[in-house]
Amino acid sequence: MSDASAPKLGPLGIWTFRLDLQPMARAREAAAELDELGFGALWVPEAVGREPFASAALLLSATNRMTVATGIASLYARTAVTMNAGWRTLSEAFPGRFLLGVGVSHRSVVEGAHRGRYDRPYRTMVDYLDRMDDATFLAAAPPAAPSRVLAALGPRMLRLAAERSAGAHTYFVPVEHTKVARDVLGGDAVLAPAQTVVLETDPVEARRIARGFMQMYLALPNYTENLRRLGWGDDDLAGEGSDGLVDAIVAWGSLDRIADRVQAHLDAGADHVSLQVLSADRQSLPMPEWRELASIATSLRPRSEPVTSSTP
């Protein structure tokens, strides 16, 4: 593992793009309430919304306790020197409360939005981490080693996450992937999957909402290749996904069913699960759902013992 310290996340967090859709003043109010509700971390993405370091700084300044994490900051969006500087700046300003999640993103985003060249993602990440770690930073240093995790799905990137960071952030994954990821990472690295949820008990409506979310991700090869490694086939991956795949990726139903899915990730080796709430209204903040979901934290059993890796 690198000199990055292990982040303090707790078993349950929130992953959301919805804060980007609100005026920042409203986003900060919502973050403050999530902090008061007891969530361990708030994960914010980077794509075509707010710049994540600026957003994280504003959200951190509105909260007192929880971690704010990037899920993920794209290495194609800034040089390694700039990424390192942003990471260390926020880690100094908010000791122990900023977690950098960094990843290679997707070809369509890199070559479309960033006008970059997406090639050899593993080698690109290795070179980028080398340049981050060699970067000069002459400003005030963080009081402790800052924390970072890598966006990782396949075995090579997961191993790299264990070697060069505190662990891995996984996204658009079923519980079976958490089992695989823990085995590859070994027992000490942090594993923080995101779990998408729909608090809707009608299966037709719940899957309709879920498919509206899944369609975009099933067009991204990084995710479909990962699902194929787990045994999902063409019939499952076509269009908006089979019922089986929808149910594996998106937990829907009662609060108890959502809690069971989170616990399944923890039992499979996750240290922290961030919940991404879907609803028919894709614009408004899901504050009622977030308040309900906060109540499941007390029933969760954290991963209690390191899991021995079978990877040589």
**Quick one: pLDDT at residue 305?**
46
**Quick one: pLDDT at residue 117?**
75
Tell me how far apart the alpha carbons of residues 268 and 180 are, in angstroms, rounded to a whole number. 9
Sorting pLDDT into bands at 50, 70 and 90, what band is 8?
confident
Torsion of CA 150, 48, 30, 250, to 10 degrees: -60
DSSP 298: G
Q: What is the mean pLDDT of residues 272-282?
A: 95
Query: Which candidate, 25, 31, 40, 29, places its Cα nearest to that of 270?
Result: 40
Q: Which residue is associated with the tokens 């050899």? A: 120
SS3 (DSSP) at 150? strand
For the record, the structure tokens of 227 come out as 């699902």
CA dist list (Å): 262 to 61, 79, 174, 175, 291: 29, 35, 11, 9, 16
**Quick one: pLDDT at residue 1?**
43
pTM (predicted TM-score): 0.94
Q: What is the mean pLDDT of residues 19-48?
A: 97
Tell me how far apart the alpha carbons of residues 96 and 65 are, in angstroms, rounded to a whole number. 10
Q: What is the mean pLDDT of residues 262-266?
A: 98
For residue 44, the tally of other CB atoms under 10 A from its CB is 26
Cβ 250 vs Cβ 164: under 8 Å: no
**Quick one: pLDDT at residue 7?**
81
3-class secondary structure per residue, 154-206: CHHHHHHHHHHCCEEEECCCCHHHHHHHHHHHCCCCEEEEEEEEECCCCHHHH
Report the DSSP pairing between strands 41-44 and 67-70: parallel
Cβ 83 vs Cβ 129: under 8 Å: no
> Per-residue pLDDT for 107 more than 70?
no
Sorting pLDDT into bands at 50, 70 and 90, what band is 257?
very high
Q: What is the mean pLDDT of residues 232-242?
A: 96
Give me the domains of the chain, ranges plus CATH numbers: 12-297 (3.20.20.30)
What DSSP element (H or E) covers 268?
A: helix 255-268
> Per-residue pLDDT for 144 more than 80?
yes
